[in-house]
């Protein structure tokens, strides 16, 4: 058998190194692609558009929500978790609509586009009751569209207790089974203890909490605090 020359051995060695680098690169690309695709958080923004919310108050909610999504802490949290976010307008029974579809937050541009969509999202209803139980069902149905997201959160904001349709508490068992957390923002506008009602009847899941806005004027600041808290997982331990 003839011996291989030094040049031949050198060629084989270079070829082996090239193949090995190619394998490592392929492994890195596959792992990197998997990391990019991973969704750590699915967030439903459920906005009250019932008859008690007038046109000015609707505008405060949508502009305040858009501004909160542009907050630096919220932006960083959503992007780092490759979050999926959607918006649902809700009011009385059978009147809930997913007006902005699921959007994956991979870059700041994604968040800016989503915030801009919220600012221009036309109101669907104006003169109907408050069916929070149905709002939860609509949110559950939306979450079924993003089954791979590890953590699922419904963010409900409203200015009144449920007065139509099924009671929100009747959805708690289903929410538990799905591993969904429900947090709430109570917009206090009257004498009823809406914050207490949300605590007793609406919120659910690990670390669930209620934030209180003292009227619609306080909503922009409180929705920012709420999004910071639920996107960064600074949970209160309340249930």
Strands 84-90 and 41-48 come out as parallel
Q: What is residue 21's predicted lDDT score, i.e. its pLDDT?
A: 60
158 lies in the same domain as 208? yes
Q: What is residue 20's predicted lDDT score, i.e. its pLDDT?
A: 54
- Residue 20: which domain range? 1-37
86 lies in the same domain as 17? no
108 lies in the same domain as 19? no
141 lies in the same domain as 200? yes
32 lies in the same domain as 114? no
Helix or strand holding residue 178 (H, E): helix 172-178
166 lies in the same domain as 54? yes
Nearest-angstrom CA–CA distance, 90 and 125: 8
Q: Is residue 137 part of a domain?
A: yes
Helix or strand holding residue 15 (H, E): helix 6-37
Pick from 217, 209, 183, 182: which is nearest to 64 by CA? 217
99 lies in the same domain as 32? no
How many independent structural domains does the chain possess?
2
Dig out the tokens for 192 from the structure.
């009823």
Q: 117: domain CATH number?
A: 3.40.50.410
Nearest-angstrom CA–CA distance, 216 and 228: 19
135 lies in the same domain as 199? yes
Strands 41-48 and 210-213 come out as unpaired
178 lies in the same domain as 73? yes
89 lies in the same domain as 176? yes
What order do you get walking across the sheet with 96-104 strand by strand?
A: 96-104, 84-90, 41-48, 151-158, 180-187, 210-213
Q: pLDDT truncated to tens, each residue of the chain (239 aa)?
A: 455 555 554 554 555 555 556 544 555 555 554 445 589 999 999 999 998 899 999 999 999 999 999 999 999 999 999 999 999 999 988 889 999 999 999 999 999 999 999 999 999 877 778 999 999 999 999 999 999 999 999 999 999 999 898 999 999 999 999 999 999 999 999 888 999 999 999 999 989 999 999 999 999 999 999 999 999 864 333 33
33 lies in the same domain as 145? no
Q: Are 206 and 235 in contact (CB under 8 A)?
A: yes
Q: What is residue 8's predicted lDDT score, i.e. its pLDDT?
A: 56
Q: What is residue 223's predicted lDDT score, i.e. its pLDDT?
A: 97
Neighbours of 7 (CB within 10 A): 8
61 lies in the same domain as 15? no
Q: What is residue 94's predicted lDDT score, i.e. its pLDDT?
A: 83
Kindly list the distances between the CA atom of residue 188 and the CA atoms of 196, 197, 198, in Å, as whole numbers in the listed order: 11, 11, 11
Q: Is residue 236 part of a domain?
A: no
Q: What is residue 51's predicted lDDT score, i.e. its pLDDT?
A: 86
């Amino acid at each position: 058998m003839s011996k291989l020359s030094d040049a031949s051995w050198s060629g084989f060695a270079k070829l082996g190194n090239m193949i090995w680098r190619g394998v490592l690169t392929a492994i890195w690309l596959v792992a990197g692609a998997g990391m990019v695709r991973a969704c750590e958080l699915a967030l439903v923004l459920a906005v009250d558009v019932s008859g008690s919310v007038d046109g000015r108050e609707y505008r405060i909610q949508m502009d305040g929500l858009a501004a909160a999504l542009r907050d630096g802490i919220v932006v960083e949290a959503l992007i780092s978790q490759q979050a999926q976010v959607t918006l649902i307008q809700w009011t009385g029974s059978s009147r809930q609509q997913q007006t902005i579809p699921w959007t994956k937050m991979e870059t700041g541009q994604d968040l800016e586009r989503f915030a801009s969509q919220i600012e221009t999202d036309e109101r669907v209803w104006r003169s109907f009751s408050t069916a929070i139980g149905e709002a939860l069902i609509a949110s559950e149905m939306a979450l079924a569209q993003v089954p791979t997201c590890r953590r699922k959160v419904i963010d409900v904001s409203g200015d009144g207790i449920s007065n139509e349709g099924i009671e929100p508490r009747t959805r708690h068992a289903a929410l538990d089974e799905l591993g969904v957390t429900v947090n709430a923002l109570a917009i206090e506008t009257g004498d009823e203890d809406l914050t207490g009602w949300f605590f007793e009847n609406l919120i659910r899941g690990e670390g669930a909490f209620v934030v209180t806005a003292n009227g619609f004027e306080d909503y922009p600041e409180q929705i920012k605090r709420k999004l910071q808290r639920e996107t960064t997982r600074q949970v209160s331990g309340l249930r």
